[in-house]
Amino acid sequence: MTTVLDNLAQKISGQLDIIYRDVDIDLDYAGFAQELIELMQISVSVKSPEPYKNHWSEQDIIMITYADSLIQEGQLPLVTLRSFMNQYLGSSVNSVHILPFFPYSSDDGFSVIDYSSVNEAHGSWFDIRAIANERRLMADVVINHCSSRSMWFENFIKGSGTGHDYFFTCDPNVDTSKVVRPRTSPLLRPTMTANGEKHVWCTFSHDQVDFDFRNPAVLAQFVKIFRQYLDAGVTIFRLDAVAFLWKALGTTCINLAQTHEIIRLLRSLIEHAEPNAVIITETNIPNTQNLTYFGNANEAHCIYNFSLPPLLINTLITGNCLHLKRWLMSMPPAQNGTTYFNFIASHDGVGLRPVEGILSEDETDSLISTMQSFGGVISWRSTPDGKQKAYEMNIALVDALKGTVDGADEFGFERFICAHAIMLGLEGIPGIYIHSLLGTNNDYEKLNHTHHNRSINRRRWHQHLLDEHLQNEDSQHARILQTMRKLIDIRKAQSAFHPNATQFTLNVGLSLFGFWRQSLDRKQSIFCISNITKDVQIVPVSELNLIITESWFDLISGDEIDSFNQQLTLAPYQTVWLTNTNE
């Protein structure tokens, strides 16, 4: 009798064949499949994962933070973070994405020295588990590269020991002009080893050395890492920079078929080990390419909606939602078992590649110059023809939205809240950066200290100073956190805001941005309409096609619709969430 485990082994074996068939190695697919299943500790009593199951609901809000975004003298940062969440967020935010909390050498954690340890300066696995016991925990698997100071790379230099054959090397005379990269540094790093000089592939920096997944031992090592993180309470895995995983000379070395198959293989293993685990792929690439990481509901459970941040910011600084509206209309509904991960700000900058083909060059240039006028800085990448092109805009969101293309104005707070009201209503799971919850401004001191553009939006708050701000109701930080929590709590109570609830874009002109959501059981509808300009806008209720046999009201203000002949008056950057009272 064929068991679930037998079927899994057969499936994994087939996936390994797709991945390694063109690699010149002698690999027993069936035997290696069994090894991976054992490394993931999948038992003979395993049940088949339920297909197309949604592992999320409207209750899910993910806060994105570094382990040490908050520091307090005499206390480990992970302890401080946990205390902050319990004191200031309560039940409003039920999930947290703690950015790499491992020992690292650069890139604020994304150059991992040791995947199996917690950075002692942050805390311990005990602290990680304590957070995971209270909130759903999302962690990074930095799967494309590791630190050049890792033991694995030291063994590569020595030519023996674990890791000596983990890294991708290339003849410097080979043509790599087609390779797509997000950085301007040289691709190859000359490194003297016990076996002579080697040129190590470095997609991001020379301190971030790329793995060679053509070696099955690398895949096995990462399966061990996933298992360890599951044991620590991690249930959401963010696959960092995964689009660059597989390299093949003569190609772009991005989004290759083997990369997609490795993600599918990892999902096969993880969902049999933990049925409620979720994989999110971090692929900061043009939108059409990004969508491919859903596969056929057999790859990533969630993909980052990378086009949303630049398009939403562009909408609010221009007062015109044409591109945001067209983009939303073009986005396919995520089938059950998959959804979008929505965000406006993160530890990284606002990527510009996802709006290639959406915004014109002139519109992109205008967006860039406006962000620069608000104190932002720009990061660049090298194109295959050797030119420099803007890759991302580095700026705190509260500063990015403090004005329009005409300059700063008095509507910064309203514009900032409007952006989040739009994001919280959209199909998908909302991710909110801790510095958006706190209304943190550009950190020029850190930028000048590190000379890394992304530092401008990676402030470390001293908890006692933050407490002073948050306990002053008139401070920007307290106002933003209080208003954000109110919006979040309203959102979480609406079944029509389920990440997979129906969504249609409304045709309400270009000065208003609107969409309609309907719950999976069709009992609740919500019309989400935002004034994306600094002028008062009028919305005739008759144009919204509300069902006249039901009564309607705005979830945010509490105002009722008294007559279907009335007009809604929206103040600058005001959002209404109009719902029927049948919920």
CB 428 within 8 A of CB 332: no
Which residues, other chains included, contact 474 with Cβ-Cβ below 8 Å and sequence gap of 6+? none
Q: What are the C-alpha distances in Å from 46 to residues 226, 229, 394?
A: 18, 19, 46
Phi, psi of 516 (to 5 degrees): -120, 135
Three-state SS at 236: strand
Q: Is the dihedral of CA 144, 149, 151, 157 positive or negative?
A: positive
| Residue whose token pair is 């860039």 | 368
For 434-505, list the strands marked E by DSSP. 461-462, 502-505
Is there a catalytic annotation at residue 240? yes
Distance between CA atoms of residues 403 and 394, nearest Å: 16
Contacts of residues 443-449 at CB distance under 8 Å and 24 or more positions apart, as own/partner, are 443/396, 444/375, 447/377
Distance between CA atoms of residues 239 and 256, nearest Å: 15
Closest by CA to 209, choosing from 175, 170, 238, is 170
Three-state SS at 398: helix
Contacts of residues 214-220 at CB distance under 8 Å and 24 or more positions apart, as own/partner, are 214/20, 214/23, 214/25, 214/168, 215/165, 215/166, 216/16, 216/20, 216/25, 216/27, 216/32, 217/165, 217/166, 218/166, 219/36, 219/262, 219/265, 220/32, 220/35, 220/36, 220/39
Phi, psi of 298 (to 5 degrees): -130, 15
Phi, psi of 348 (to 5 degrees): -90, 180
| Residue whose token pair is 């006028």 | 373
Q: Which of 240, 348, 399, 443 is catalytic?
A: 240
Q: Indicate which residues carry an active-site annotation.
A: 240
